[in-house]
Chains A and B, each alone.
Chain A
């Protein structure tokens, strides 16, 4: 087995509020190898961001708490590390790009300062040397170095996201977590930024966890895909497995509800209903209330992960019947 940059084992994260306990992440396991990009796909409230923040140990606590499980980063479990040690890891070994470039930069410092800050901190360089490195990185993400002295408000959305990428890559992390990095951008700018991320990822051989709800972005950049629903990973496999041999009814529903750009249809086929409240999860499969294949057992017992083919794992009771198959409506499935 190849060396893993990140492996998460059975991670459980709850938010313990006064009135209720929100079961945000309910026992997920995943791993990312060197130079690999894993797409974490799911809808709002599926627990994607909570999972990512747990890796960085950035869950606000209280109310959030990692209840059990391990997050092994470059061979060491970070869940129990003291905050001081964690601070040395953040930005150095693992860096994060957030969705909204407008709010992730500090408006009162120049972009050069903001890039240099993390370099000076982690690489023990002098301020002047750090600034020089910052300018080099800025050029790398396609911004002229002269603009290092400008403030975030002087940049457009796409440029700001480039600056955020520059900060994330400034210390050459082994893992990059990108939380919906292009969702706030226009499509032509999204194409530019995705292209840049692909290029830099190859150049620096960075492993990446790409959180997104956009299956188009996934097909663009990810090697492997994990589909998350109500705090569980319901299907994981290579991009080929997920796109061509879709196994979980929820994944199927996601594909079916996308308007297809290549073919016009009379009406779309949405997934009926809503995601369950994570504070009151149903006793059986969390997707059962919305699933057209669900049988009686799905409402009472929890499905366990099942490996269909090597590396393609699905969590669905319907596969107890060996002849079970789902129906994809379009795409190249």
Chain B
């Protein structure tokens, strides 16, 4: 059997801070098949964006290995890295700060094409820009407009067109719809899904919104303080969450239905510091089920049922 498109083993990213070593990503492993979507879910500061950036080699890892399409990309440099970057792209959260306010729509989309010499010839490049604009649902009338004249949804479409210009194989979507209104959010999610279908794209979808990821991902990894605490196929995770944190996270979502009553688990306290963590379960201080073992050892991620992995001593 061929190796999955992306294989990540024991990936770590630490940052040096005055208070000690900050464990942003701490020993995570997963694989991702071509054409699939992995949802990376968690709250602010859990390391999900850092994971995305390390995967794209925008940050260097502290430890572990990453293989992309059979090639070890953990430490590649120079021309090899430049070649890799054409295949891996990112879509950012905030379409207001991720595009240059002084460039028009067509200039913005043209830039990656000419910089990387993907297409040569003035007319050909212009055609490609128009093609990309059509692909992401921007009318050609907007070619000469500036970002400030456009709403968030359209700006996000520019970001997507820019990523698509490289004809990537793999895209990290870092909270691509969090800054958008719901009606626009749905438009962008549908667009991303269509692009995935027609281009065979592989996504890592980073979000804090479990409802969004439910609709979008094949598999979900829940992160807490730099570690994956639960990983499972999407349907299974929603039907049968096992980790206490995942359960609390699911129960905390307000459901837009009248008279919706459910057992709500209100977590005590807040996320603890990722600086020099002790050898213990990172969630134990907020967990109502924690017992002695949770305070003396960090639980490993183990497969409980096929494909469903959980890092908790309570789950057997």
Distance in angstroms from B114 CB to nearest chain A CB is: 31
B189 contacts which chain A residues (CB < 8 A)?
Answer: 259, 268
Q: Determine which of A186, A192, A272 lies in contact with B208 in the assembled complex, contact meaning CB atoms within 8 Å.
A: A186
B183 contacts which chain A residues (CB < 8 A)?
Answer: 43, 253-254, 257, 270-271
Question: With an 8 A cutoff between CB atoms, is A172 at the interface?
Answer: no
Question: With an 8 A cutoff between CB atoms, is B121 at the interface?
Answer: no
Known: A220-B254, A332-B258. A264 touches B266 (CB 8 A): no
Q: Determine which of A188, A220, A243, A270 lies in contact with B187 in the assembled complex, contact meaning CB atoms within 8 Å.
A: A270
* Stretch of B16-24, B52-60, B75-83, B209-217 at the chain-chain interface: B209-217
- A264 and B234 form a contact (CB under 8 A): yes
Chain A residue at minimum C-beta to C-beta distance from B152: A44
Measured between alpha carbons, how far is A158 from B190 in the docked complex, in Å? 32
Measured between alpha carbons, how far is A255 from B181 in the docked complex, in Å? 12
Q: Determine which of A191, A215, A268 lies in contact with B256 in the assembled complex, contact meaning CB atoms within 8 Å.
A: A215
Question: With an 8 A cutoff between CB atoms, is B298 at the interface?
Answer: no
Question: With an 8 A cutoff between CB atoms, is A322 at the interface?
Answer: no
Measured between alpha carbons, how far is A243 from B260 in the docked complex, in Å? 11
Measured between alpha carbons, how far is A129 from B244 in the docked complex, in Å? 44
Chain A residue at minimum C-beta to C-beta distance from B193: A267
- Contact indicator per residue, chain B 143-186, by CB within 8 Å of chain A (1) or not (0): 00000000111000000000000000000000000000111111
Known: A188-B252, A188-B267, A259-B214. A270 touches B184 (CB 8 A): yes
Known: A189-B270, A265-B215. A44 touches B181 (CB 8 A): yes
Distance in angstroms from A179 CB to nearest chain B CB is: 16
- Contact indicator per residue, chain A 61-99, by CB within 8 Å of chain B (1) or not (0): 000000000000000000000000000000000000000
Measured between alpha carbons, how far is A265 from B151 in the docked complex, in Å? 27
Question: With an 8 A cutoff between CB atoms, is B118 at the interface?
Answer: no
Q: Determine which of A188, A192, A213, A219 lies in contact with B258 in the assembled complex, contact meaning CB atoms within 8 Å.
A: A219
Measured between alpha carbons, how far is A243 from B255 in the docked complex, in Å? 11
A194 contacts which chain B residues (CB < 8 A)?
Answer: 254
Question: With an 8 A cutoff between CB atoms, is A261 at the interface?
Answer: yes
- A216 and B187 form a contact (CB under 8 A): no
B258 contacts which chain A residues (CB < 8 A)?
Answer: 219, 239-240, 242-244, 332
A239 contacts which chain B residues (CB < 8 A)?
Answer: 258
State the interface size on chain B (CB cutoff 8 A): 44
Question: With an 8 A cutoff between CB atoms, is B248 at the interface?
Answer: yes
- Contact indicator per residue, chain B 254-266, by CB within 8 Å of chain A (1) or not (0): 1111111000101
Known: A187-B252, A188-B252, A255-B256. A261 touches B186 (CB 8 A): no
Measured between alpha carbons, how far is A157 from B264 in the docked complex, in Å? 21
B254 contacts which chain A residues (CB < 8 A)?
Answer: 190-191, 194, 214, 216-217, 219-220
Q: Determine which of A158, A243, A262 lies in contact with B270 in the assembled complex, contact meaning CB atoms within 8 Å.
A: A158
Measured between alpha carbons, how far is A159 from B270 in the docked complex, in Å? 9
Question: With an 8 A cutoff between CB atoms, is B253 at the interface?
Answer: yes
Question: With an 8 A cutoff between CB atoms, is A269 at the interface?
Answer: yes
Q: Determine which of A156, A255, A274, A332 lies in contact with B153 in the assembled complex, contact meaning CB atoms within 8 Å.
A: A274
Q: Determine which of B193, B208, B211, B248 lies in contact with A258 in the assembled complex, contact meaning CB atoms within 8 Å.
A: B211
Which A residues fall within an 8 A CB radius of B? Answer: 43-44, 156-159, 186-192, 194-195, 213-220, 239-240, 242-244, 253-262, 264-265, 267-272, 274, 331-332
Identify 6 residue pairs between A and B in the complex whose beta-carbon atoms are under 8 Å apart, listed by A's number. A157-B44, A186-B208, A219-B256, A242-B258, A267-B190, A270-B187
